[in-house]
Each structure stands twice: as C-alpha cells, then as structure tokens.
Amino acid sequence: MTGARMLRGAAGVAGFLVAAELLVRFGLSEKFVFPAPSTVLNEAGRLPADPQFLEGVAVTLSNWALGLLIATVVAVPLGVLLGALPPVERAVRPVLEFMRPIPSVAIIPLAILLIPVDELMKVSVIVYASIWPILINTLYGMHDVDPLAKETLRAFGFGPLAVLAKVSLPSSAPFVATGVRIAAGVALVLAVSAELVAGGSAGIGVYVGVAGSGNRTDLMMAATCWASVLGVAANLALLAGERRLFHWHRMRTGVTT
C-alpha cells in the first residue's frame, strides 16, 4: 500500500467519523438515539481496562481458535482422502451437496438440545460451520494438482503415497490455507451468534447481550468495533502467513492478492 493510498484511506475514515458525528448530534430525530462516534470510540478505548470484557474476549477467542483448529484437523485429512480417491468422492459428494445449503446458524438450537455442556456446544457449532470452507478448498486444491508432475513421479517409480506426499499435498497447501482464512471469518460470526442465542457466563456476544439489557448502545457498539478489529487482525495475520509460506505459489500462478 503506497503512502498516497494510505493517506486517502485515513482521510476517508476521518471524513466518515466527522459526518456521522454531525449527523448523530444535529441531524437525527429525538426518538432515534444512535450513539455518536466520539462516544463509541471513547468507550472502545476504555473497554480494554474492563475485566469483564477482557474475560469475554478471552473466552470467545479461545472457542474460536479451538473450533478452527478442530475443523482444520478434521477437514484437511478428509479433503485429502476424498481428493485422492475419486470413487469415494463421487459417492460422498451428494451427501455433502445436501448438507452444505443448511444455514450454519440453524445448527445452534440443535446443538443446544444435543450438547448440554455450554462450551462444548459453542465449539461444536464453530467446528461445523468452519469445516465447509476448509473441506471445499482442500478438495479444490487436490483437483488442481498438475497431472504432469504426478505422472513424472509415477514414471520414476514412486508409489501413490510418495506422490501424495511430494506433489499433491504441497500443491494443495495454499488452497487449504485460503480455506482456513475464509473459515476464520465464518467461525467468528458463529462464535458470537452462539453466545447471543444461548447466553453463557462470558464472551463478546454475552457482553453485548448484557449491555443491551441495560440499553447501553454505546457499549454495544464499542464491543462490536473490537470484534471487527479482531476479525481484521486475524485475517491480516493469516494472509501474511499465507504469503510467507506460499510465495512460490503466487509466483507460479501470478495471483497478486
């Protein structure tokens, strides 16, 4: 990102904040009380000193990370297995196609019913929703493997496992990473959704719910901003990791983003 672009971006943010501030303070009707950006930012600045909020962030983040980890551990081997064995994939595919359109948040009430342990219920919901993007991307990566490279190794007498380890896995790894990054965004949404629906002792969603019962829209917006910051940070971190690990992939395919 060049200096001029960053400057324009900063100007855009500042312009938006000023416009929103003026609109909230002078433009809107009396009945519609949206917290002013200055109030929200002020509260957001104070939140890191609030132990209750910090505990919520810690709980949500650990559920998020655990769910994502379990989803990766389940979905990647499954994707590799299905990708390596086309007859199995053809057989299982219709089941996946029938399950995929189910909106993931609809699983939350079912999970509440089936899993009495609160933490376990929340992690399971995150796992269920995160498995899909990782699985689909792993499968896509396995299909994208250069057939010439596989044939070359086979011609040199390598067995199927060696071909898998030396060609298929490295070549689909960047796709897996993209799947994990997409799943991270989905997982955060599911983590807070489960907290909003089911409640619980702590979590960002729980914090927003509690602030809502006291009509503290400023606190709710401040916590929401922090959730967004966490989402942006996780996305950037995963993106940076992808670029570092797989710079050869970008050079090969010419994809710049």
Binding site for another protein (CB under 8 A): 4-5, 8-13, 15-16, 32-34, 90-95, 98-99, 101-110, 112-114, 185, 188-189, 192-193, 196-197, 204-205, 208-209, 212, 215, 217, 220-221, 223-225, 227-229, 231-232, 235
Q: Closest Cα partner for 43 from 188, 214, 206, 216? A: 216
Expressed in angstroms, the distance from the first to the final Cα of the chain is 12
Rounded to a whole number of angstroms, the minimum distance from the CB of residue 165 to another protein is 29
Nearer to another protein, 152 or 215 (CB): 215
For another protein, the closer of residues 23 and 73 by Cβ is 23
Angstrom distance (rounded) from CA 148 to CA 236: 34
d(CA 211, CA 255): 44
Shortest spacing between CB 138 and another protein, in angstroms: 20
Residue 7 or 73 with smaller CB distance to another protein: 7
Smallest separation, CB 216 to another protein (Å) = 9
Q: 84: Cβ–Cβ under 8 A, 6 or more apart, which residues?
A: 142, 160, 164, 168
Residue 68's nearest CA partner among 205, 234, 201 is 234
Q: Which is nearer to another protein, 31 or 244 (CB)?
A: 31
Distance CA 9, CA 83 (A): 42
Cβ 161 to another protein shortest distance, Å = 26
Look up residue 5 and give its two tokens: 């672009």
3-state helix, strand, coil in the chain (%, to 5): 85, 0, 15
Q: How far is the CB of 103 from another protein (least distance, A)?
A: 4
Give the residue with the Cβ less far from another protein, 71 or 129: 129
Residue with tokens 């940076």: 240
